[in-house]
Amino acid sequence: MLTPKFQTHFAGFMNQFVALRRLSGTDYDSQIKLLVYFDKFLLNVAFQKDFITSEIIDQYLQTLSHLHPRSQGNRISVVRQFCQYIAQQEPNSYIPEPLHYPHAYSSRIPYIYTPNQITKILHAAGNLSPQASIRPHTYTSFFGLLYTTGLRLSEAINLTINDLDLSSQLLYIRKGKFRKDRWVPLSRTTTEKLQIYLQKRRKVPPRGADAPLFINLNQKRLNSHTVYSTFRILLHQCQLRKLKGAGPRIHDLRHTFAVHRLLQWYRQGKDLHACLPALATYMGHIDIRSTQLYIHATSELLEQVNQRFHSFACQTF
């Protein structure tokens, strides 16, 4: 847990505000960093008033002009929450409006992998060296799990051996985003693959229940930097991206999971209005709006939508 170091005369208010947010069970470490930026700004401009003014917020906004709109919005969102807290005790304190940007400001369009591409990536992972080590088995299972469950990268990295309940085909996610725990059901084939991996994993120390599920050659927990670089190498081998420059990302596996899940439901004739809340819960989202950001139109998905509309139109007219 991050210990904030505020330096202005607002430090007392800021510490109280952070403590209050943490009482709600929210992981507030990333937001603390954004609040520290605001505190440093107030210190640099020698702001001495006992409440926040609209003028000082405008000055702060000018210092953020070089940032991506999403980053600007995140910083102002935290400041706005803090201003709302101060306003409860000092009515003259200014509360800035949230920054609104059109959805089009998203920095990049997610890449939706095809099933054939996923197969090639997992095959390439299985050929990683050294072949006699745990490494090829680790990365095949790791990337396969990301694709079949849509887990966040950090959630998969933080898994322990004890988080696998293969007899019930369940995976326990501890303290995911917003410090929320959840159970993730696994498919039969994913369970079988993880069972095979676990048998190989238990031959390599550490073997305790709290030991990392996915480890590197040094028998330590995988880290995100190594996972990113390994995935880029696999994409290069599969001719999906160059070693340098932009291209498909590992996070796109999460987008691909959502799209492929939706496509399967369409093919099964499921009620999407009933299924989408379940998908949101499965992916660890607070509400369905976050899940909608992971749903993208593909040719296969549009074909299914058109077929369903055609069937509906024929029955109606």
Contact residues for 240 (Cβ-Cβ < 8 A; gap 6+): 117, 121, 247, 248
- What stretches of 247-297 show up as alpha helix (H) in DSSP? 252-267, 272-282, 288-292
What is residue 305's three-state secondary structure? helix
Contact 116, 123 (CB under 8 A): no
- HSE value, Cβ hemisphere, 13 Å, CA-based, for 316: 6
Cβ atoms within 10 A of the Cβ of 33, count?
13
What is residue 135's three-state secondary structure? helix
**Cis amide leading into 4 (omega within 30):** no
The Cα–Cα gap between 215 and 220 comes to 5
Pair of tokens at residue 112:
């939706």
Q: Which residues have a catalytic role annotated? A: 152, 177, 251, 254, 285, 294
